[in-house]
Amino acid sequence: MTKEEIKKKEKQLLELTGSFCAQKLDDDYYQLCEKLILKLGRKRDVPFKSGKIEIWAAAIIHAIGSINFLFDKSFEPYSTAEQISEFFGTKKSTVSNKARQIKDMFKMGYYDSEFSTQHMTGNNPFNDMVMVNGLIVPLSSIPEDLQEMVRKERAEGRDIEFTTE
């Protein structure tokens, strides 16, 4: 598959996911879908070069949604796996299997630093924790200058841990 064909499929995926996000979700989800689509397109063996494009679009939304509690009624926005599958005219089991492949491929999980919504990032319980000598401790239990160092590193997308040796 040529780079032009990959770009064409990326564009189709962006349009499909964008349509769903505009109708059912929000811009935060669209940006995460876009990031994931572009990351998939950069892989040496581009996963979406084969298979139905609608299944890939649904799986991308499902993968992002499942790590951001999209399927939990107490969260906004809320959707179900069935709604995603119905929107794209796909089978729920096929979509969830493909979403699992995507999540495994990029080691995606809850509070993922790369694919979490702004709401999830802001409410991450691990934001107030830090690793000291292999133990997780409250950030407030370390000296103020070290707390500031942790906040600065995290703001730049890095994490930090301490040892007292």
Domain CATH for 40: 1.10.472.10
pLDDT reported for residue 134: 84
Asked if 87 and 28 sit in the same domain, the reply is yes
Asked if 59 and 140 sit in the same domain, the reply is no
pLDDT reported for residue 123: 87
Asked if 52 and 131 sit in the same domain, the reply is no
Asked if 115 and 130 sit in the same domain, the reply is no
Q: Where does residue 51 fall: left (phi above 0), alpha (psi -120 to 50 degrees), or beta otherwise?
A: left
Asked if 114 and 131 sit in the same domain, the reply is no
Asked if 57 and 92 sit in the same domain, the reply is yes
pLDDT reported for residue 40: 94
SS3 category, 138 = strand
Find residue 161's DSSP bridge partners.
131
CA 99/CA 61 separation, integer angstroms: 8
The total domain count for the chain is 2
pLDDT reported for residue 151: 85
In this structure, what DSSP letter does residue 104 have? Answer: H
Asked if 49 and 130 sit in the same domain, the reply is no
Helix axes 27-42, 3-24, angle to 10 degrees: 160
pLDDT reported for residue 77: 95
Digits of tens for pLDDT over the chain (165 positions)? 788 999 999 999 999 999 999 999 999 999 999 999 999 999 999 999 889 999 999 999 999 999 999 999 999 999 999 999 999 999 999 999 999 999 999 999 999 889 999 999 888 888 888 888 888 889 889 889 988 988 888 878 777 888 877
CA 76/CA 84 separation, integer angstroms: 16
Show the domain range for 137: 125-162
CA 10/CA 4 separation, integer angstroms: 10
